[in-house]
Each structure stands twice: as structure tokens, then as C-alpha cells.
Chain A
Amino acid sequence: MPRVGLFIPCYIDQFYPDVGLATLEVLEQHGCEVDYPAAQTCCGQPMANTGCTDAAVPLAERMINVFAPYDYVVAPSGSCVAMVREHYTDLLPLTNKLQEFQAKTFELCEFLTDVLKVDSISGSFPYKVGVHQSCHGLRELRLARSSETVGDDFDKARQLLKSLDGISFAELTRTDECCGFGGTFAVHEEAVSCMMGRDRLADHRAAGTEVLTAGDMSCLMHLNGLNQRHAQPFPVMHIAQILAGRQPEGITPVNSTDGSVA
């Protein structure tokens, strides 16, 4: 039984505790022994992305030590995992300890598909789902083929979601454009950030998205924040919540009422 250290991003810990619980449940359902080390805080991404690398270094060092005892480290966030795997080498000397940490750290969906070799997830989710590709998951971790690159199609999140009963997908005009969150970018470049988010939401609305999901709660926090100011916001759910069997709040499944599909 693989021993997994649960890496819960700081803002998920504080604002979206159920996403953490759902991640824990999914991992346990697939036979992992999961532990959440409470000494973890933040991976240091906001500091590093602002350029303040000296403020990020002690946090990166802390992460490595906190997660040293585990076989694997799994996080419900492509962005935080990308920080560890792709950018810790910009902050710290390349030691064996760092390399080991990077090699054993995974985003939830890729851990399920690549390490645990999960083919399908049982359950029902009778909604038209809009999948938001978070950029760091997409273009740093390569969890799916990005629309710019040429090659065989793959998408680890959809691969898992598509086995759920009743699920369908909203097909967007711009399949994987950035939502505009971008960490501190969301505040420092507020005008562009919010326009990007509004445009993503408009694309989802036009495509008939009933439930919006993503592998990164940060993108969803930004999109939902904008959506809440809209007259008829659609619910957002982290992919871990869907995989753990949660159902959206405030809407009824279309298929169960009159059988029509939105």
C-alpha cells in the first residue's frame, strides 16, 4: 500500500476544506494509506512568481523536510505541483533530496492515471461538465495536449471523468485559454485578469456548461468570483469532488427530470 503524503495548498486548506477531504477520500478509495502532515503551509509559489525568491526559499526547504517520510506526495493542484516539480530547481541547489521530492510529487489526476493506473471511476454525474484546463497542469505538467502543440490527443482529467455515468462535456470555442487568475497577476493586472475570466465564462455559457470543473481550485476561485456577480452563476466543483462522488448544489440533473439534454 503506497504511503501518500497529502499536499493541500494553503488556500484550499483555508477556503475549500471539502476539496481536501475529497482528495483524501479518492486516494483512500484507490488503496492508498494517506496522511496529512500538519507542518505544511505553502509551497512558496506566490513569492517565487512575484520575483521574491528569497521569501520562497525557506518555504521550499520546509516542504522537502515535511514530506520526506512519504513514498508519494499528491496535491489537488497542477499549479502547486508544477511549482515543486518544475521550479524548485530555480530556488534550491540540485541535491538528491530535492530530486527525490520532485520525482515523487504528483497532481491528483496524473497520480491516479499514471501511478495507480486507474482506468475508470465508478459513480454517476449526470451533468454537462465544462472542463477548465489550468495552464500549469496543461503546459508545465502536460496533463493534456495543449491546443498549440501538434501530436496525439490525451487528457488525464477527462480520461477519469468520462467513465462516470451520465456525464457529458461542454465543447468550448477556445479549448484551453487561460482564465486570467495567474496568482498575484489577478490583482496587479486586475483589468486584463477579469476580462480573461469573463471571456472564459462566456465561452462556457455558450457551450452549455452546467458544472464547471478543473484540477486547480485557484482558477475556479477566480472564475467563480466573477460568476457570482452574474445573474445565473453555474456551480463550480474541483475535479476531486466529482471523483469522490459529490453532486453539485443548487441544480437538478437534466436527465433525471424530463430526460432532455441541455
Chain B
Amino acid sequence: MAGHAQLADKFVANEERAQWHDKSLWFVRHKRDNISHSIPEWETLRETASQVKLHTVAHLAQYLEEFETNAKKLGVTVHWASNAAEHNEIVLSILQEHNVKRVVKSKSMLTEECHLNPHLEAAGMEVVDTDLGERIVQLRKEPPSHIVLPAIHIKKEEVGEVFHEHLGTEAGASDPGYLTEAARQHLRENFLAADAGITGVNFGIASTGGIVVCTNEGNADLGTALPNLHIACMGIEKLIPSPDHLSLYTRLLARSATGQPITTYTSHFHGPKPGGEMHIVLVDNGRSDILGSDDFRRSLSCIRCGACMNTCPVYRRSGGHSYQSTVPGPIGSILGPSQNAKEHSSLPFACSLCGSCTDVCPVKIDLHHQLLTWRKEIYVRGLLPFSKTFPMKVMSKVFQRPGLYAFGGKVARKALRLMPRWMIYNPLNGWGRQRDLPEAPKESFRDLYKKRKK
């Protein structure tokens, strides 16, 4: 399987597109900077939000029980799934019990992670993603490339093409207003015809048993207001202790995600609507393993705002698909290997360790430190290729002998001075394809220092 570097190489090869992608996301990062800098207590908010999440995760079992008890009191049926397969089976069986044929789904990275759509479609159901970006990638039969902006990699002309094919819009149309209106009409038909609505969960509130779903398009509300059946799929780490803590996260989430003061719709669901049914599926799928790890536990605090993707200079230039992981970017490069270290062994290296993700994270996850720790884990588990480990072992041996190091340096510098350019810039020299090497001086600093001292 191609690693991140190979896929990034392909993305960067289309320089114009890579530049456009970078600038689109930087625009969002810049909006985030403007709005977060308008809040003097921003750093206090981050620190408090971080502490509350760490506390909740440390007492997760207790809060989950509290949440279940209170949700049941509200008339919600609560299900537990230990992995993706169980989650998919539970959702399918609820839908089948209700004889559901058509499902509308609002954005949920958890259902992407579990590959719910193909599972339901295989059972003969029609599943329509109702977030506009999600719908676009669904029609293109590809996964989202970003968790908040799933179609950020697609240009409006390409949206015009896919809508022309599937929704019958005019050929060559690229006007965002026209295309959005077409999507609105198309989705409205689906909302009206749906037998069930599936949503994700942004926050589960332990002390009330209620859930909060944040969207900018109101699609979660439309998808749950019309059908009588609402299934909410929730990762077990989405809990917060009480409604008192909610404003911390709603203030941080939208500002970090898109630079908005708040999401357009912050919808609270406390029990089923009159005459309806509400189910919550609580999903583990590897989260308990992360909870058990001192190194990576903090990654469970993630509120999925996507700010680390928008700020990551590597993500912006390599595109979400290069990560081959439901959640891409810095947080995805921690979560991916936690799910399957072998499959995602290249992700912790798709990072220059610049630390921008850590500084932007609204819940202060030490993202770049966890990525560094993952590199060590990849090595310890024997998943790092010989081409990466061997030079490090050799260098270490040389550096343990100052005389050998100084002699080796002298030989290498002399060789660089004497060798013709074509010999230095050979295909094996990964540095030299696009960059010049530094000029090799005759004397090293240690040589000059010795002379100066005399």
C-alpha cells in the first residue's frame, strides 16, 4: 500500500491544485485566528476545556453509566457497540424492525469510521447523506477529505459536473447559488420521503442524558423532525459531565472549526419527539484501548473541530485523501495508528513536527508530541522500514566516536568539493532533486576553534 509520502507526491505534482487547496484552508485558519483573538480569555477557555475533558475521560465508566440511566429516563433506547461491526448490526436491526427503506443521515464521522452506509445499502436501504459536502462526496463515490469540510478538495466546477450527472442541473454550471439551490430541492425531497434519520453526536451530557448536534445547514434537524425514528451514533468519548460545561465547547468548536462565533444550528435532543422513537448507539471501536494508553489518552479529548487540519502545513498541501484514514491530518495521524498501526504506519511521519496543531487545538491535545511518540512506537513494533532505521543506527555509531565523526566530516566535505555536480545530484540524493546542498567549507568549526585558541 502506498504511504502518505507517495500520495502526497501525486497531490503536489498538480501544483496549481495543491496551491488552491492550501489557500482555501489557510483562509479558514485565518478566520479562526481573527475570531479567537477577539476573545481575551481564549487561552483560559482552552485550558478549562482541556481539564474538563481529561477529567471526563478519567471517569468515563461512571459518566457513561450516568448518561445511560438519564437517557433511559428520557425515553431513549440505549445500545452499546464494542466495534464497528456491532454498531452497524445494531443500526441495521433497528431500521429493519421499523421496516425502513429510506434513511437520511446528517454528518457523522463515526458512521464513516464504521462504514455504515455500505452495510445498510447491502441490506437494500437507500442512505442519503444530507450535509451538502457529504452529499457531494457521496455522489462522487469517494470518502470525505476533511471532517468539517468534507468536499474542500473539490472545485465548484466539479460540483457542477456531478450535479449535472445526478441531479439534472445544467451542464457547465458552477454558480454556487444555483448549485446550492439544486441541492436544497434534492435534499428536501429526501427529507420528506425518509423513514428514519441518523445523526452523529457532538456532545453527550451525562447529567441529563441528552445529546447536542451542531450543524451549519440544519440538516440534522430536518432529518429528525420529519421521520418518527431517530438513531444517534455516538463515540463513547463524546461525553461532558453536565450542561454547565457545554458553553465551553460550543464557544470553542465553531470558532476553531470555521471561524464562526457559533454553529448555525446547535440542536439539543432530550428524548424522542412525541409519538417518535429515539435510539442512541454508544460505540467503543478501539477507544477503550486509547483510554488505557498513557501516551495517547489525551487524543480522546478531541472535539472534531478540524482546526489541526486547517493549520497543518502538510495536510493543506497533501489533501485529506493522502492519509487514507477516516480522520485525516494531525489528529487522524494519531487515531489511525491507534486503530491499525501497520496500515497507518506512515502517518506519524507525515508531519514536520512544527507544533502548529498543538497550539491551535481548542482542547490542548499535545498533537505533535503524540505523533513523535507514535514514531517511536512504529519503530519498536518493527514497522519502520530498514531504509529509515539503518542510516540512524550508522549515524549513532559515528556520533559516539568524536574522532571518527570529525574525520568522516572532513572526508565528506572534501568529496563534496571535488565531485562534479552531476555526481552529487544523482537520483539517490533525495535532498538534491529540488534543493542545493550547502557549500562544503575546507575547515569545520572545530578546526577553526582549535586554530583560534592557539
Which of A51-59, A110-118, A155-163, A207-215 has 4 or more CB atoms under 8 Å from chain B?
Answer: A51-59
- Closest A residue to B6 by CB, please name it: A191
Residues of B with C-beta under 8 A to A87: 372
Residues of A with C-beta under 8 A to B405: 10, 41-42
Compute how far the CA of A53 lies from the CA of B376 in the bound complex, rounded to whole angstroms. Answer: 7
B4 close to A (CB within 8 Å): yes
**Can you list, as one digit per residue, whether each of B380-405 has a CB less than 8 Å from chain A (1) or not (0)?**
10001000110011011011101001
Compute how far the CA of A180 lies from the CA of B352 in the bound complex, rounded to whole angstroms. Answer: 6
Q: How far is the CB of A131 from chain B (nearest CB, A)?
A: 16
- Closest B residue to A228 by CB, please name it: B436
Compute how far the CA of A196 lies from the CA of B352 in the bound complex, rounded to whole angstroms. Answer: 10
Q: Is the interface of B mostly helix, strand, loop or mixed?
A: helix
A149 close to B (CB within 8 Å): yes
B70 close to A (CB within 8 Å): no
Compute how far the CA of A194 lies from the CA of B395 in the bound complex, rounded to whole angstroms. Answer: 24
Contacting residue for B313 out of A8, A178, A188, CB 8 A: A178
A182 touches B449 (CB 8 A): no
Which of B37-45, B219-227, B261-269, B328-336 has 4 or more CB atoms under 8 Å from chain A?
Answer: B37-45
- Closest A residue to B314 by CB, please name it: A192
Residues of B with C-beta under 8 A to A185: 349, 351-353
A180 touches B449 (CB 8 A): no
Residues of A with C-beta under 8 A to B317: 192, 195-196
Interface size on B, residues (CB 8 A): 79
| Given A13-B444, A140-B355, A150-B36: A41 and B436 interface contact (C-beta under 8 Å) | no
Compute how far the CA of A21 lies from the CA of B312 in the bound complex, rounded to whole angstroms. Answer: 36
Residues of B with C-beta under 8 A to A48: 372, 376
**Can you list, as one digit per residue, whether each of B24-41 has a CB less than 8 Å from chain A (1) or not (0)?**
001000000100110110
Compute how far the CA of A178 lies from the CA of B26 in the bound complex, rounded to whole angstroms. Answer: 13
B340 close to A (CB within 8 Å): no
Q: List 25 A-B contacts (CB under 8 A).
A: A12-B445, A17-B445, A36-B445, A36-B446, A38-B406, A41-B402, A49-B372, A55-B395, A55-B396, A139-B355, A139-B356, A139-B359, A146-B355, A150-B39, A182-B354, A185-B351, A189-B349, A190-B5, A190-B434, A191-B8, A191-B13, A196-B314, A225-B437, A229-B435, A229-B436
20 other A-B residue contacts (CB within 8 Å) besides A150-B39, A191-B318, A229-B434: A12-B445, A14-B409, A14-B440, A15-B413, A20-B449, A21-B452, A41-B402, A42-B399, A47-B395, A49-B372, A51-B376, A52-B396, A90-B373, A148-B356, A148-B360, A180-B313, A180-B352, A182-B352, A190-B433, A195-B18
